[in-house]
Amino acid sequence: MATKTTKKQTPKKTVRAPRTAKTTTKSTVADPQPIHFIHAIRGFFNNYFNFSGRATRAEYWWAQLFVIASIWIGLIVSSLFTTLGLAPIALILLWVTALWGLALIIPNLSLMARRVHDAGFSAWVFFIPFIIAVVLQYIPGVLGSIGNTFGVLVSIWGIVLALLPSKK
């Protein structure tokens, strides 16, 4: 008769991971990785003329923060030079700031187009009212304050579109 040798089995110890705070919030953003400030600014300038594709809310708002902050810094420094009596330097800095603002119009429009695409709409949802507002601003005396009011409404419409969640 063959004898069986049996080993005594020892119970395995289970090692538990330390408990951490549970985060059960579900994100509606398609890309789970956060977009940081530098990444958003690089994308803003790398997609200067790119009106197709998508831009997340974070990418949009980081870029807007950069644009607004850079223009405000230019204006504040220019006014400081004026206060110090260095008007020629202030004027040069004011012109540089104005040119910087003009240079940022196209990437802002392309970023808005990508943001609207990310929200699931065509970019024309923003651009048709935007074009109408620009045209109404330059019709002398015909529409007066209606053009200004429409421009404000288009600005509010742009903010609403920028705040919409991503759709995939």
Per-residue pLDDT reduced to its tens digit, 55-89: 888 899 999 999 999 999 999 999 999 999 999 99
Q: What is the pTM assigned to this prediction?
A: 0.70
Q: What is the pLDDT of residues 85-110, one digit of tens each?
A: 999 999 999 999 999 999 999 999 99
Q: Which residues contact 161 (CB under 8 A, 6 or more apart)?
A: 112, 115, 116, 119, 121, 125, 126
Residue 3, pLDDT score:
59
- Per domain, the residue ranges of the chain are 37-44+53-163
Contact between 56 and 166 under an 8 Å Cβ cutoff? The reply is yes
Return the pLDDT at 137: 72
Using pLDDT thresholds of 50, 70 and 90, give the confidence band for residue 5: low
